[in-house]
A and B are shown apart, each in its own frame.
Chain A
Amino acid sequence: MDINQKYTPQSWPDHPETATLEGKNKFIGFWLLLAAETVTFASLFATYLALKDKGPSGMEYSAAGLFELPLVFAMTMILLTSSLTSVYAMYHMKNHNFKAMQAWLGITVILGATFLGLEIYEFNHYVHLGFGFTNSAFSSAFYVLVGTHGAHVLFGLSWFIALMIRNSKRGLNMYNAPKFYLASLYWHFIDVVWVFIFTVVYLMGVIG
Chain B
Amino acid sequence: MSSIAQKKGFGATIWDFMTTVDHKKIAILYLISGGFFFLVGGVEAMLIRIQLAKAGNDFLSAGLYNEIITMHGTTMIFLASMPILLAFMNAIMPLQIGARDVAFPFLNSLGFWLFFFGGIFLNLSWFMGGAPDAGWTNYASLALASEGHGIDFYTLGLTISGFGTLIAGINFLVTIINMRAPGMTYMRMPLFTWTTFVASALILLAFPPLTVGLFFMIFDRLFGANFFAVDMGGNTIIWEHLFWIFGHPEVYILILPAFGIFSEIFAIFSRKRLFGYTALVFATILIGFYGFMVWAHHMFTVGLGPTANAVFALATMIIAVPTGIKIFNWLLTIWGGNISFTVPMIYAVAFIPSFVAGGVTGVMQAIAPLDYQLHDSYFIVAHFHYVIVGGVVLAILAGTHLYWPKMFGTMLSEKLGKWTFWFFFIGFHLTFFIQHFLGLMGMPRRVYTFGADQGWDLFNAISSAGAVLMAIGVIIMLVNVVMTTIKNERVGNDPWGDGRTLEWAIPSPPPFYNFAQTPLVRGLDTYWIEKMEGNKKGMIFAEPLGDIHMPNGSIIPFVMSLGMFIASFGALYFLDGDKPWALAVLVIGMLILFGSMLLRSLKDDLGFHITKAELLEDAKGGKTDGH
Contact = CB atoms under 8 A, between A and B. Distances in A.
A contacts B: CB pair < 8 Å: yes
Nearest to A133: B225
Given A25-B178, A137-B234, A43 B208 contact: yes
B103 A133 contact: no
Contacts of A135: 226
B233 A55 contact: yes
Contacts of A51: 227, 233-235, 238
B145 interface: no
Contacts of A37: 208
Contacts of B173: 28-29, 32
B205 A134 contact: no
A144 B225 contact: yes
B242 interface: yes
A138 B225 contact: no
A166 B601 CA distance: 9
A125 interface: no
Contacts of B233: 51, 54-56, 59, 136-138
Given A55-B232, A137-B235, A144 B103 contact: no
Contacts of A166: 601-602
Interface in A31-73: 32-33, 35-37, 39-40, 43-44, 47, 50-51, 54-56, 59
Contact of A44 (B104, B212, B235): B212
A3 B607 CA distance: 11
A43 B212 contact: yes
Contacts of B223: 133-134
A21 interface: yes
A162 B594 CA distance: 12
Given A1-B606, A162-B601, A50 B209 contact: no
A202 B292 CA distance: 30
B190 to A, nearest CB: 21
B204 interface: yes
A47 B231 contact: no
Contacts of B598: 162
A39 B179 CA distance: 26
Interface stretch (B55-63, B213-221, B323-331, B482-490): B213-221
Interface string B192-212: 000000000000110111011
B70 to A, nearest CB: 24
B270 to A, nearest CB: 36
B232 A40 contact: no
B226 A175 contact: no
Nearest to B211: A40
Given A136-B226, A140-B226, A175-B604, A39 B205 contact: yes
Interface residues of A, number: 37
A141 interface: yes
B234 A54 contact: yes
Range of interface residues on B (Cβ < 8 Å) = 35 or more
Interface string B163-190: 0001000110110011100000000000
Contacts of A139: 226
Contact of B225 (A35, A56, A140): A140
A137 B207 contact: no
B224 interface: yes
A135 B231 CA distance: 11
Given A28-B178, A50-B238, A175-B604, A137 B227 contact: yes
Contact of A134 (B212, B224, B602): B224
A24 interface: yes
Contacts of A28: 103, 173-174, 177-178
B229 interface: yes
Contacts of A141: 227
Given A137-B233, A137-B234, A43 B242 contact: yes
Contacts of B178: 21, 24-25, 28
B170 A33 contact: yes
A134 B226 contact: yes
Interface string B245-260: 1000000000000000
Given A136-B233, A137-B234, A47 B174 contact: no
Contacts of B103: 25, 28-29
A140 B219 contact: yes
A149 to B, nearest CB: 13
A145 to B, nearest CB: 10
A1 B551 CA distance: 12
B154 to A, nearest CB: 19
B232 A136 contact: yes
Nearest to B212: A43
A179 B178 CA distance: 18
Given A40-B211, A54-B235, A140-B226, A29 B170 contact: yes
Nearest to A165: B602
B161 to A, nearest CB: 16
Interface in B11-61: none
Contacts of A40: 208-209, 211-212
Contacts of A24: 178
A56 B232 contact: yes
Given A51-B235, A162-B601, A137 B229 contact: yes
Contacts of B231: 56
A32 B205 CA distance: 9
Contacts of B104: 25, 29
A142 to B, nearest CB: 11
Contact of B174 (A29, A44, A133, A140): A29
A140 B212 CA distance: 13
A173 to B, nearest CB: 10
A162 B205 CA distance: 29
Contacts of B224: 133-134
A175 B598 CA distance: 17
B252 to A, nearest CB: 16
5 tightest Cβ-Cβ pairs between the two chains A and B: A54-B233, A137-B233, A140-B225, A134-B224, A55-B233
18 contacts: A1-B606, A21-B178, A24-B178, A25-B104, A28-B103, A32-B174, A33-B170, A36-B166, A47-B216, A51-B227, A51-B235, A51-B238, A55-B226, A59-B233, A135-B226, A140-B220, A144-B227, A175-B606
Given A40-B209, A133-B225, A140-B234, 14 more contacts: A3-B604, A29-B104, A39-B208, A43-B213, A43-B242, A51-B234, A55-B233, A56-B231, A135-B226, A136-B226, A136-B232, A144-B215, A144-B225, A162-B602
